Structure 1
């Protein structure tokens, strides 16, 4: 009983089925539809058992593979014109207990719509009592769409490597954005750049004022990520090399084409 802080029972409605647009199509595990199927299975069991549901809040972890659990939103900080950092409190000084590269699934009701998305926390994996995620909000007519950002899982992995004194992995990051103002986690990436084994190149596709970011000593190229840039910045296809790719479906597809042209085989790259 030491792990249980509180237990509550209530009647709950049928789980909300995600829209097709809520799946990023990147093969996430679990996908928002996996979570929905798990919820539906559990909900059916509850209906057969009388409709009562028990939620246990644990001091060791606030996550469950079978149900959504409540965490209080305690702080919002704007990162860019359309992106915010959200900080949530974990009850009883709990922890997410994630491994490097893992993500979580968040659910919220916005303007009457139930939205379910996957996000990679940007807070330290060992953080207790809180976690933070970066969310991009795109407004479309009277509705809005909450999107994760491709840099967050890569940042989590890079931070885990450089903070491990025994890990001598060299990291080369190509970060694609439209403008310098859209670069997220810039302060955190600057801190990583102080380590000997981390290098970042910013590819800005629509920014006429590249000097805004390059004046601080950053490596900046103007334009989209090309096969030539990838072949220049990425290591050759040798044993022990692995490339992590995270972005839109079309972006991921292009990057994999570039990598294959360099001789990379399937086991040498991973798509978030």
Structure 2
């Protein structure tokens, strides 16, 4: 996410990752937040372009439906301003929410990455994990159909088709949502030949978000997309999910090693990001230095982006 994060304090969206209790989510400083992040992508035809939303400020949208996905994740679908509206956002772009808790004076800002298509008319959908005491996720999980929330675009990574020959995505928990958004955008673009490898870590198999969607992508795009799901507590006897932390050996199963034309994206809770690629700097304000497994494999700061 080559970020437009002026005035923001960032700590990665997180969930329980393989082998450790990963908690937290991206936190934003409540000051200096009134900037405009134009992160839209133009639709493919002029008719669709007329429907693209104008993200010049916070836009109010009403919750249309809420579905419990697992013990702590909900799928929340919001209605866009009109039935013909599309978000028009580019990969990777999140929507920043804003609300003021009852009895508080300072608003709360949290980013959530849509998992719905950017050209889907009428609605936008998120996968939101609830964190005990989390002001953003608690608010989102408490919403009922008809309740409203304010949203604004926040571009997180400036992706250009075919800029990299291959990309490795390492994700944990709810950090999978920007990875899913980008993976689908790359694979669905017939002009983009980028190859993708994914390692997705969670605590249990029930925590694997968008599992079927990733399985369908792997089946539809053989040779262009391959994945590994890994968990710390395996409950099935199948061989489609591995057990344990993200390791060098696991990476080698889907990744040939450091070479020209590659990019590695790491998205997940701070503990996982630090173990894989080194912690972000300045409490999440900067990318920080390279460390962890990727440093041992010879990767440099230019090779890696941390969410």
* Both structures adopt the same fold (TM-score exceeding 0.5): yes
Equivalent residues of 2:115, 2:125 under 8 A apart: yes
The answer to whether the aligner puts 1:265 opposite 2:294 as a matched pair is: no
- 144 and 60 in structure 1: CA distance in 2 versus 1, 3 angstrom threshold: closer
- Alpha-carbon deviation of 1:23? 4.9
Equivalent residues of 1:32, 1:105 under 8 A apart: no
The answer to whether the aligner puts 1:171 opposite 2:196 as a matched pair is: yes
- For residue 157 of structure 1, what is the aligned residue in structure 2? 182
> Quick one: distance in 2 between partners of 1:180 and 1:31?
27
Unaligned runs of 5+ residues in structure 1 are: 1-21, 41-57
- Alpha-carbon deviation of 1:36? 4.2
The answer to whether the aligner puts 1:201 opposite 2:228 as a matched pair is: yes
> Quick one: distance in 1 between partners of 2:94 and 2:256?
27
Match of 2:96 among 105, 129, 133: 105
- 193 and 112 in structure 1: CA distance in 2 versus 1, 3 angstrom threshold: farther
- 172 and 189 in structure 1: CA distance in 2 versus 1, 3 angstrom threshold: same
- For residue 85 of structure 1, what is the aligned residue in structure 2? 75
- 38 and 151 in structure 1: CA distance in 2 versus 1, 3 angstrom threshold: closer
Deviates more, 1:82-91 or 1:166-175: 166-175
**Structure of greater Rg:** 1
Aligned length: 221
Alignment of 1:1-272 (within 5 A): 23-26=9-12, 32-33=28-29, 36-39=31-34, 60-64=52-56, 67-92=57-82, 93-109=84-100, 114-140=107-133, 146=137, 149-194=174-219, 195-196=221-222, 197-207=224-234, 209-211=235-237, 214=238, 218=240, 220-256=241-277, 257-272=292-307
> Quick one: distance in 2 between partners of 1:248 and 1:31?
12
Deviates more, 1:255-264 or 1:81-90: 255-264
Counterpart of 2:305 in 1: which secondary structure?
Answer: strand
RMSD: 2.8
Counterpart of 2:131 in 1: which secondary structure?
Answer: strand
- Alpha-carbon deviation of 1:109? 5.0
- Alpha-carbon deviation of 1:59? 5.5
- Alpha-carbon deviation of 1:110? 5.5
Q: Which has the higher contact order (CA 8 A, sep 6+)?
A: 2
> Quick one: distance in 2 between partners of 1:88 and 1:121?
10
> Quick one: distance in 1 between partners of 2:227 and 2:177?
14
Structure with the higher fraction of residues in helix conformation:
1
- Alpha-carbon deviation of 1:152? 0.4
- 233 and 252 in structure 1: CA distance in 2 versus 1, 3 angstrom threshold: same
> Quick one: distance in 2 between partners of 1:110 and 1:200?
40
